[in-house]
């Protein structure tokens, strides 16, 4: 069993989250313990040596029938499609994400141009139900940065994210798309579909040579309510600079902007946001909604 297949196998087990996957991989490396040796351990040893919760330890010690075979088959499928699977235990896990998030995703599925992870990146964020004026500013900021050679990081399934995510397509520029569900659910079984309808007006299928799709979720996983918050943190974590044009009071975008400032990222907040003065005091730059000519 390769380490890559073993990591995918662990991530596929019900109730085994990213933190547990990382803890197991790191502990095995420290003890020079092979996957086969690990899989022979009792629940008691797993709890004592790996700090796993009782329920997780029993799942790992007594996995569902065929779990490893299923993971191996999925690994072969992903390999054939060119999908990379990484955890924080891997040297090529995105350093920006670890520097931003005190609890980074335990598993990442990467499909496409992974060189973008070290390029100059930015994100333009807006809470749901942003006004037309805020969306216009969002689009203008995205276009300005794309034309300056920066790489957009965005989601794919809200009007706010879609408004920025089509901008690079107009100019033939690359982008990083962070998904709130599995790769197969968004890009199709062969990973060839564009992520949303408006994007298909500019390009008929996803281009892995130009773009990068990133997901924290198993490739066949659907959407559940908490996924949008995970995706938003992923977007912000992969962006060197964050612009915010609309944020609901106490909402996720406000929390993310504060996280970004705490992590030392450059944050720019539109003066359309009612909180912009408090963010200026925290060190954010202010973007005038209607700059003087």
Question: What pLDDT, in 10s, does the model give residues 47-75?
Answer: 999 999 999 999 999 998 888 899 899 99
CB 258 within 8 A of CB 282: yes
| pLDDT > 90 in the chain, percent | 72
Q: What is the pLDDT of residues 196-254, one digit of tens each?
A: 988 888 888 999 999 999 999 999 999 888 899 999 999 999 999 999 999 999 999 99
**Percentage of the residues of the chain whose pLDDT score is greater than 70:** 99
Confidence of residue 4 (pLDDT cuts 50, 70, 90): confident
- Identify the three-state secondary structure at position 96: helix
pLDDT at 87 > cutoff 60 = yes
Task: Encode 57-73: b = buried (16+ Cβ within 10 Å), e = exposed.
Answer: bbbbbebeeebbeebbe
pLDDT of 291 reads 58
CA dihedral 254, 255, 256, 260 (to 10 degrees): 100
Q: How far apart are alpha carbons 105 and 41 in whole angstroms? A: 26
Confidence of residue 42 (pLDDT cuts 50, 70, 90): very high
State the first-to-last Cα distance of the chain, in angstroms, to the nearest integer.
63
- Please state, in angstroms and rounded to a whole number, the distance separating the CA atoms of residues 235 and 219: 18
Return the domain boundaries, the chain. 3-81, 112-287
What is the Cα–Cα distance from 210 to 217, expressed in whole angstroms? Answer: 22
What pLDDT was estimated at residue 293?
38
Residues contacting 251, CB < 8 A, separation 6+:
127
Mean pLDDT value across residues 64-92: 90
CB atoms within 10 A of CB 32: 7
Tens digits of residue pLDDT in 143-190:
999 999 999 999 998 999 999 999 999 999 999 999 999 999 999 999
CA pseudo-torsion sign 222, 227, 228, 231: negative
Residues across the chain: 293
pLDDT of residue 21: 87
Tokens of 67: 């779990």
Architecture of domain 112-287: 3-Layer(aba) Sandwich (3.40)
Q: Give the ranges where the chain is alpha helix by DSSP (H).
A: 3-12, 18-31, 35-39, 43-50, 54-61, 67-81, 95-100, 132-147, 159-165, 167-171, 183-187, 197-200, 227-237, 252-262, 276-282
Q: Show Cβ contacts of residue 12 under 8 Å, excluding neighbours closer than 6 positions.
A: 67, 70, 71, 74, 218
Enter the pTM of the model. 0.91
């Amino acid at each position: 069993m390769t380490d890559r297949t073993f990591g995918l196998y662990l991530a596929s087990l019900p109730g085994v989250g990213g933190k547990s996957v990382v803890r197991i991989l790191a502990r095995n490396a420290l003890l020079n313990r092979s996957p086969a040796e690990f899989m022979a351990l009792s629940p008691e040893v797993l709890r004592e040596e790996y700090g796993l919760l009782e329920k997780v330890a029993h799942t790992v010690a007594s996995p569902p029938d065929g779990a490893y075979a299923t993971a191996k088959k999925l690994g072969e499928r992903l390999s054939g499609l060119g999908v990379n699977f990484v955890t924080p235990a891997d040297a090529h896990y995105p350093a920006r994400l670890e520097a931003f998030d005190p609890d980074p995703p335990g598993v990442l599925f990467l499909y496409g141009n992974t060189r973008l992870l070290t390029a100059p990146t930015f994100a333009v964020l807006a809470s749901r139900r942003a006004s037309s004026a805020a969306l216009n500013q969002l689009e203008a900021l995205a276009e300005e940065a794309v034309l300056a050679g920066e790489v957009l990081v965005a989601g794919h399934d809200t009007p706010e994210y879609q408004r920025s995510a089509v901008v690079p397509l107009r100019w033939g520029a690359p982008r990083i798309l962070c998904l709130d569900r599995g790769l197969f659910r968004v890009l199709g079984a062969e990973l060839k579909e564009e992520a949303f309808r408006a994007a298909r007006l500019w390009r008929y299928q996803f281009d892995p040579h130009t773009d990068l799709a990133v997901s924290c979720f198993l490739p066949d996983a659907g959407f559940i309510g908490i996924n949008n918050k995970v995706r938003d943190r992923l977007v912000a974590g992969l962006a060197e600079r964050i612009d915010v044009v609309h944020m609901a009071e106490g909402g996720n975008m406000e929390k993310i902007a504060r996280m970004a400032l705490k992590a030392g990222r450059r944050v720019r907040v539109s003066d359309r946001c009612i909180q912009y003065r408090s963010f200026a005091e925290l060190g954010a730059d202010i973007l005038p909604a209607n700059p003087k000519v």
